[in-house]
A and B are shown apart, each in its own frame.
Chain A
């Protein structure tokens, strides 16, 4: 049979495909039938939090930080309750990471504050003298891309039926309205919590620095 296959490339290719696709059918499909259901009370990310998640992706925090607390006592003692599948129901993409050069962040919102984060992102060594994490000062001057985050929220609502309120809808005008009524006030609250004048001023002028969005996202992780 194998000699025959080696002389008939088409059937050879079909054979290879069947053999490699088999595992996917068995392992991947059943999990999709059990589509990740959100845990009770879980809300989708706000637009500001989504913008923060984009900063998390852009500066690639997952290179060093996981968001997955494994069910071991040593991990629950250090980070809190182990992670549940339903907690990730609104995570597109998932951000578990695969390396812990720094600590896990899945429940960072439980034990760090906005001003701690602001100081830490400015210079980690100020708070943890032996830290090898670089400073992310550019996050204090770069503006967060709120418009793209808004587009993501709309897509999540339209395509994946996320339970957003009626204020999340298509178009630039809807975005501008949302910006004024929800996003900027939420950002201002975070900026004030950081106790950094520059950040407050920036938000008041209508520009949200990346670090403010990032902190909104990190505070949400709990």
Chain B
């Protein structure tokens, strides 16, 4: 990567997505803390009548943090880093700039539609694919626009060779497109019933076991192509940029990229172990989940070794702290996942709180930390201001780290407790516990988890404040910093 100080980039669209990432982060995580608290203190279910129960809010939490916070973060980094690695500004093409703003506007409409319809209980009921067909159609438009802009920029590029981050952005675009189209294939009932009933209602194209297979092919790979692939794009750009270090190994990044692409898609079956899906597919899911450790750790190790000889930056720069810990959490999470995908372990872990525990060490420790670091790095370049407060950033880091640790440790214990109690038998082979015994046993862990979530949310508010102040009141900087982001 050469210095791009000679070029002026137009960051209008990136800026918009930075704001929505912060706003959706606050909304999604606040709902998360509320529903975590509801499990510990059920009276909190009655704050908003029909619209405030755990069951109604849970998909709202997942959708807002995935499609609001994370996807905004991904788009923000793309509209910032994409042009920079391609050496072409969005401002050079009026058409691309128009499409970029159109894409953002439609995205906002889509996100609003998603929140409102899910609160009302209008849902296709597939996890992370709850939106009904009209919103699915709008999603396709937003996604295709992104692809047009991406390949438009690529077509205009001055840097011939695509940087590693671009590989991952392209893969994100293609992967989500393919999976989303297949999983959301549905038949709107209004067209076949002679105009009877709600216009937005639809029936899934697939039934039963087939539907489950397609859904978890998506569900698992939404994790791949929203929580993994684009976040690797982010770290490959922002860690070298912030640290001033070259990526450790090109060969390792090649191996990790193509390895991840090939292996990830096979692993979806591990969500359906011991189900009615054919056994050979379940075993394929297990085997490929274990193989997945290789490309995952390949990327993480490549990033950690990029810091070789410069570990002092870890103590001096909170953004490096966020990114290094994110790589570490990525390693933890991608080791934990394969363990859970082993059939005998899955027999205990499946359906328990260990699964949300696993998800959250990945999304909080890896995804959110990377997005925080990237937004802060970008804000110094985009707003041409210093980061408002380094000490606030440091405090946020530690509060959120403690929050994540409380979250996943409590859920590990809760999950294994639950799994063991469900199968416990006495000396005559009878079940020892009634179901409700296994619920009450979890109360302390649910309370600890809610506390962990609250700490993370506190950090989110600190981040939002720091971001807002940076954008509006940070000390102005004349020349774009080459590497380390300046902070007060």
A residues within 8 Å of B by Cβ?
2-3, 6-7, 9, 12-13, 16-17, 19-24, 26-28, 31-32, 34-36, 57-64, 66, 68, 70-75, 77-78, 83-85, 87-103, 128, 130-136, 138, 142, 145, 147-152, 154-156, 158-160, 170-172, 174-175
Q: Is the Cβ of B197 less than 8 Å from the Cβ of A99?
A: no
- In the complex, what distance in Å separates the CA atom of A68 from the CA atom of B350? 11
Contact among A6, A23, A59, A75 with B55 in the assembled complex (CB-CB below 8 Å): A59
Name the residue in B189, B217, B268 with the highest tally of chain A Cβ atoms < 10 Å from its Cβ.
B189
Q: From DSSP, what is the main secondary structure of chain B's interface residues?
A: helix
Q: A74-B431, A155-B192 are in contact. Are A145 and B276 (CB under 8 A)?
A: no
Q: Is the Cβ of B53 less than 8 Å from the Cβ of A136?
A: yes
Q: Is the Cβ of A131 less than 8 Å from the Cβ of B439?
A: yes
Q: A130-B440, A134-B53 are in contact. Are A148 and B208 (CB under 8 A)?
A: no
What 1/0 flags go to B122-141 for Cβ under 8 Å of A? 11111100000000000000
Give 4 A-B pairs besides A17-B178, A98-B271, A174-B194 with Cβ atoms closer than 8 angstroms. A19-B258, A70-B347, A70-B350, A145-B197
- In the complex, what distance in Å separates the CA atom of A107 from the CA atom of B56? 24
Q: Which residues of chain A come closer than 8 Å to B59, judged between CB atoms? A: 60, 63
Residue of A nearest to B44 (CB): A134
Residue of A nearest to B166 (CB): A9
Q: Which residues of chain A come closer than 8 Å to B113, judged between CB atoms? A: none
Q: Is the Cβ of A159 less than 8 Å from the Cβ of B55?
A: no
Q: Is B351 an interface residue (CB 8 A)?
A: yes
Contact among A59, A78, A92, A148 with B431 in the assembled complex (CB-CB below 8 Å): A78
Count of inter-chain pairs, beta carbons less than 8 A: 266
B residues within 8 Å of A by Cβ?
38-39, 42, 45-46, 49-50, 53-56, 58-59, 121-127, 151, 154, 160-162, 167, 170-171, 174-175, 178, 182, 187, 189-190, 192-198, 201, 203-215, 217, 254, 258, 261-262, 264-266, 268-269, 271, 274-278, 281, 284, 288, 347, 350-353, 355-356, 418, 422-425, 429-431, 435-436, 439-440
Q: Is the Cβ of B275 less than 8 Å from the Cβ of A19?
A: no
Contact among A64, A90, A94, A155 with B212 in the assembled complex (CB-CB below 8 Å): A94
- In the complex, what distance in Å separates the CA atom of A29 from the CA atom of B20? 39
Q: Which residues of chain A come closer than 8 Å to B160, judged between CB atoms? A: 7
Show 9 A/B contacts (Cβ-Cβ < 8 Å), sorted by A.
Answer: A16-B171, A24-B217, A27-B266, A72-B347, A91-B208, A94-B209, A147-B198, A154-B193, A171-B193
How close is B342's CB to chain A, nearest CB, in angstroms? 15
- In the complex, what distance in Å separates the CA atom of A72 from the CA atom of B440? 23
Q: Is the Cβ of A91 less than 8 Å from the Cβ of B211?
A: yes
Q: A17-B178, A20-B175, A66-B351 are in contact. Are A155 and B436 (CB under 8 A)?
A: no
Q: Is the Cβ of A134 less than 8 Å from the Cβ of B207?
A: no
How close is A184's CB to chain B, nearest CB, in angstroms? 17
How close is B125's CB to chain A, nearest CB, in angstroms? 4
How close is B3's CB to chain A, nearest CB, in angstroms? 21
Q: Is the Cβ of A95 less than 8 Å from the Cβ of B125?
A: yes
Q: Which residues of chain A come closer than 8 Å to B162, judged between CB atoms? A: 6-7, 9, 12
Q: Which residues of chain A come closer than 8 Å to B207, judged between CB atoms? A: 36, 88-92, 94, 160
- In the complex, what distance in Å separates the CA atom of A8 from the CA atom of B214? 32
Q: Which residues of chain B come closer than 8 Å to A145, judged between CB atoms? A: 197-198
Q: Which residues of chain A come closer than 8 Å to B208, judged between CB atoms? A: 36, 85, 87-92, 94
Q: A9-B162, A74-B423, A88-B276 are in contact. Are A35 and B439 (CB under 8 A)?
A: no
Residue of A nearest to B266 (CB): A23
Q: Which residues of chain B come closer than 8 Å to A17, judged between CB atoms? A: 174, 178
Residue of B nearest to A35 (CB): B210
Contact among A9, A20, A31, A88 with B261 in the assembled complex (CB-CB below 8 Å): A20
Q: A9-B170, A132-B39 are in contact. Are A171 and B194 (CB under 8 A)?
A: yes
Q: Is the Cβ of B167 less than 8 Å from the Cβ of A12?
A: yes
Q: Which residues of chain B come closer than 8 Å to A89, judged between CB atoms? A: 207-208
Contact among B198, B205, B213, B265 with A31 in the assembled complex (CB-CB below 8 Å): B213
Q: Is the Cβ of A150 less than 8 Å from the Cβ of B275?
A: no
Q: Which 8 A-B pairs have the closest CB atoms?
A: A88-B208, A151-B197, A170-B194, A148-B197, A58-B121, A134-B45, A151-B193, A23-B265
